[in-house]
Chains A and B, each alone.
Chain A
C-alpha cells in the first residue's frame, strides 16, 4: 500500500496504536479513552469480562466500525480517517478469526479459505496449492470439499485460522478463538496461534475470556522440530513477545507482560487472575 496522509511518521514501526479511543452504542459507553500499542511481532492477549469491549477493539482495528473519539493506527495508517475503499486495501494485510468462525456457509472449505485469492483472480493451480498449505498448517487438509456445516466447532475455528493466514498477513486478530470449545480443542487452537507467532512472527491481538490461553502463549513456544509446543526456558523469553491487556468498564486496567501481571496488587485484577 502506498504511503499517504493517513500515515504519520513514527506510527509505521508499530503494528497497532490506539490513542484515547472512545466508542459507545445506543447511549452506552463501551470504550472510554483506551490507549495501547502492539509492537511488530508481539502477541497481546485482550482480557476482560463479557461486554468490556474486547471484540469492539478488533472491529475498530479493521475499520469495520469508527470510534467516536481518538485515533487508531494500523501498520502506520490512521483507519479512523480512511474511506471504505482505502480500508479494503489495508484489510488485505490483516487476518481475522471471528468468534463464531463466520465462514461462508454456502461455500465449501476450499472456497472459504481461498476467498481472498479468488478475489485477486490468482490462477487455480496456485490457489489450490496455497489452500492446501494453509489447511495443512491447521491439519485439516482432508476437509477441502466439505461444507462448514459438516465440520465440528473446533474444525470451523481452524478453517477460520486457515482463511485468515492464507495471504500471510502482517497482523492477525483472534476473536475468542477458544470460546465454547473443549479444553483439548482449545489447546490445539492455542498451539496453532503459537505456531503462527513463532514461525511467521506475525503480530496478533487475541481476545479471550480464558486467562490460561494468554499464559500458555506467554510461557510456551512452538518447536518446529518436534512439531509441538514446549515450555520456554530463560534464553527464549525475549523472543516470545506476549503481553496482556485487561479492560474494565471501557478503560485499560492493565497493560504489560505476564510476570508484571502476577505482581499487580489491584484487587480487581487479583480477583480476575485468581
Chain B
C-alpha cells in the first residue's frame, strides 16, 4: 500500500470539501435555471419517498414502542407512568423521528444514488450526457436533492406519528395506561419549538443525504470496485454528518427558541 504524506492527504481532503461544496451550491442554484426536470423530481420523489415508507413506518413504530417499554421502569419509580405519552412524543418529535428516519433513508437512498451515479460515471454515461449537451447536475443531482428534502419532511411526520402509535400500543396493552390520557399528555407536551425543531432537521438531513450520495457517485473512479467503495463511503459519511449536524442544529435552534 502506498503511503500518503500528511500534506498530500490534507490537500486531497480540502479538494474533496471544495468539490462537495460546489456540488451542493449548484444543486440549489440550478433550481432557478432552466430547464427544470419536473418529471424527474416526481419520479425520484416516488422512488425515495414512497419507496422508503415501509422501512420508515417499521422503524418509527418499533422505536415508539421500545421507548414506552424502556421508560416504564423509571417512570414507575417516580409514580408518573401517566407521563409515558409525553416522553414518547417529545423524544420522537424532537430527536428520534428525524434522526432515525434520516439514517434509514441514508442507508437506502444515499447508497442507491452513489451506486447509480457511480455506475454511470465509470461507464462514461455522465460524459455522454455532457457531450449530448445536458448538464448532469441539473438532470441528475437537483431532482434528487429536491425530492429527498421534500420527502424527508413528510417521512419524518409519518415516522413521528407511527412512533406515537407504537408507544400507545405498548402503553395500552403492557402498561395499562388509558388511551385518552396517553394521547392527551402526548399532545399537551409538544410545544412550538419542539415541532419546529423536529421539522427543520429532516430538511437539513435530506439535503445532506442527497448531496453526499450524488457527490460520491459523481466522483467514482476505478470500475466496479470504485462503485462499491463510493456506495459505502456515501452511507458512512451521510450518517456521520447527520449525527453531527443534528447536534449543531439542536444547539442552534435551542438558542433561537430559548
Contact = CB atoms under 8 A, between A and B. Distances in A.
Interface string B127-156: 111111111000000000000000000000
Contact of B134 (A62, A88, A103): A88
A128 interface: no
Nearest to A116: B132
A186 B135 CA distance: 32
Contact of B131 (A62, A104, A105): A62
B135 A88 contact: yes
Q: A interface, by DSSP: helix, strand, loop or mixed?
A: mixed
Interface residues of B, number: 15
A96 B131 CA distance: 7
Interface of A: 59, 62, 64, 84-85, 88-89, 91-92, 94, 96, 98-100, 102-105, 115-116, 119, 121, 163
Count chain A CB atoms within 10 A of each CB in B35, B129, B131, B133 and give the residue with the most: B131
Contacts of A92: 133
Given A105-B123, A119-B35, A98 B133 contact: no
B196 interface: no
Given A100-B123, A102-B123, A119-B35, A91 B132 contact: yes
Contacts of B128: 96, 98, 102-104
Interface of B: 35, 119-120, 123-125, 127-135
Contacts of B135: 84-85, 88
Nearest to A93: B133
B132 A115 contact: yes
A114 to B, nearest CB: 11
A147 to B, nearest CB: 14
Most buried by B among A96, A99, A102, A103: A102
5 contacts: A88-B130, A88-B135, A98-B128, A100-B123, A105-B125
A84 B123 CA distance: 21
B30 to A, nearest CB: 11
Contact of A91 (B119, B123, B124, B130): B130
A228 B19 CA distance: 50
